[in-house]
Every structure is written in C-alpha cells, then in structure tokens.
Amino acid sequence: MAAPSNLTLRLLTAAVVSPLLLAAMFLAPLWVWFGVVLVASAIAASELFAMTHPEDRVAQAIGIGMTAATTAAVYFGARDARVLLTTLLAVPLVGLLVPLWRLGDIRSAALRIVAGVAAPMFVGGSLATLALLRRDLPEGGRWVVMALTFAWLADTGGYFFGRFIGGAKLYEAVSPKKTRAGFVGSLVGASVGAALATFGYLPALEPAHAFPLAIVAGALGQLGDLAESLLKRSTGIKDSGWVVPGHGGILDRIDALLVVAPIVYTYALWTARVG
C-alpha cells in the first residue's frame, strides 16, 4: 500500500487536532487551555534548543525548563510587574551563565548564548499571550481563533499565491521558495481572517481596526517565518521536528504565530479591551 501523501497527512492531522483545540479553547476550563499552550511551548523549545545545542542534552533541558517557566511567569504574572521584571532579569542571566558551565565548541558559543538569552522569552513569552487572550478578553476563545486565523490563513495565502503566481523571490538566501507574490498572498489571507472575524464571530472588533491589525500581523508574521527559516538554514536543519505528521515540528507550525499572538494581545491591551 502506498504511503499517504504529505497533503493527506496534513488534512488528517488537522481533522484530528482542530476539534481538540477548539474544545480546549471554548469548552474546557482556563487551566486546560493554559496547559495546551505550556506543552506546545515546551515542545517548541525542545526543537529550537536541539538546533542550537545539538550535542548538549543538559543545556537543552535547561532551555526547555526556562521556556516553560517563562510561559508560566508571563501568564500568572501578567498583572504583577514584580513577576515579569524578575523573569526578564533572571532568564537572560541563566542564558549567559549556562555556556560558561557547558562550554562545548567555542565556535558555537555565541549562538548558544543568544539562544539561551532570547529563546525562552521569544517562545515561552510569545505563546503565553495565546493563553492571556483567552483569559483576559471577553469572548477570549474567539480572539484566540482570530490570532490563529491571521497566522494560518496568511501562510495558506502565501502558499497558493507563491505556487500559482510565482515570480521574484522574496528573500532567496533565507527561504528559496518564498516569493513576493506569496508575501502579498499572506496579506490577502490575513485580511480574509479579519473579514471572518469582524463580519462573523467577533463583531465587537470594528472593521477599521480588524483589517489594519490583520495586515500588520500578516506581514510581521511572515518575517517570523523567515526568521525561523534562517535559524534552520544556519544550523543545517530542514524541519524543526516531526511531532506533527505532515507538518514537521511544532516550531514549523507556530513560527508566524509567535509574532502574531503578541501583536494581537498588545493591540487588545492598548485599546483597553483586556478585562
């Protein structure tokens, strides 16, 4: 029997995972959704630190622990400046000190220092905003859906515009398959997400806000995708992992979301929508 195609695997995975995610977002207690975010944060961190610290399981474990701790600190300390300030000070300090203890190859020390300093906040802090969206906003589950939609419809629009229109490359040295047409498609896809939200399940979000927010999130989310591509190419990795059949690793699936989710939550903060 022939092996299922990549597209078939993607569709099967989505068919299984999507209902579970929706149930966690809308039906389960808040702690369940936070648990989903925490687990995703830890897995994504394991994939990232496997790229930056490939020969050091101890340093990988420390990085994963710091990322999970950051996720929890941002979630539980979002209303307590002491918790957030302590996290912002402690995480970089640990990231700086671990390579001194786990020296390894001196040529990769700079990469390992930067990863230890930045990755816990980038992965853990950014993903924590998905849990904050659900907890802190009226109809929070719908805001989470919108953030996911911005990221994933942008990715879908970029894929189809890039495949069927093609044209000039966007940034060939970093991601040879991405095109400028694909970037435009990403903005179109994110705008479709805005239309679905403002004219459908989230009417409290005005169109005059929804579409600019989608454009900013879609554009910067694609830059997040490029940044992960740069990390993979610089470390000689094709996929960040294998945990999501047909999709690669968790990090491959959430690279844009790591940028989009904080943008949406920051927008909600500055427009006084956070309760």
Question: In the predicted model, what is the mean pLDDT of residues 41-46?
Answer: 95
- The DSSP code sequence of the chain is -PPPPHHHHHHHHHHHHHHHHHHHHHTS-HHHHHHHHHHHHHHHHHHHHHHHSTT-HHHHHHHHHHHHHHHHHHHHTTT-HHHHHHHHHHHHHHHHHHHHHS---GGGHHHHHHHHHHHIIIIIIHHHHHHHHHHHSTTHHHHHHHHHHHHHHHHHHHHHHHHHT--SEEETTTEEEEEHHHHHHHHHHHHHHHHHIIIII-TTS-HHHHHHHHHHHHHHHHHHHHHHHHHHHHHT-SSS-SSBTTTB-HHHHHTTHHHHHHHHHHHHHHTT---
Encoded tokens for 10: 């993607």
Hey, what are 153's tokens? 């419809």
| Nearest residue to 256 (alpha-carbon basis) of 157, 138, 135 | 157
What's phi and psi for 208, nearest 5 deg? Answer: -65, -20
Residue 150 lies in a domain: yes
Tally of domains within the chain: 1
The Cα angle at residue 251 between residues 249 and 254, in degrees rounded to 5: 115
Distance, CA of 274 to CA of 140 (rounded, Å): 10
Does a structural domain hold residue 167? yes
The answer as to whether 1 is a domain residue is no
pLDDT of residue 119: 94
Q: What's the pLDDT tens digit per position in 212-233?
A: 999 999 999 998 888 888 888 8
pLDDT over 90, % of the chain: 57
Length of the chain (residues)? 275
pLDDT at 3 over 60: no
Question: Could you tell me the pTM of the whole model?
Answer: 0.89
Domain range for 79: 6-270
Is the pLDDT reported for residue 115 higher than 90? yes
pLDDT higher than 50, residue 52: yes
pLDDT in tens, 163-217: 888 788 888 888 888 888 989 999 999 999 999 999 999 999 999 999 999 999 9
Alpha carbon distance 35, 8 (integer Å): 28
As to burial, measured by CB atoms within 10 angstroms (0-12 exposed, 13-18 middle, 19+ buried), residue 240 is buried
Q: Stretch 107-136: mean pLDDT, rounded? A: 94
Mean pLDDT, the chain, rounded, equals: 88
Task: Kindly state whether residue 137 falls inside one of the protein's structural domains.
Answer: yes
Q: Is residue 275 part of a domain?
A: no
66 in Cβ contact with 118 (< 8 Å):
no
141 contacts 25 by C-beta, under 8 angstroms? yes
Q: So what's the pLDDT on residue 257?
A: 94
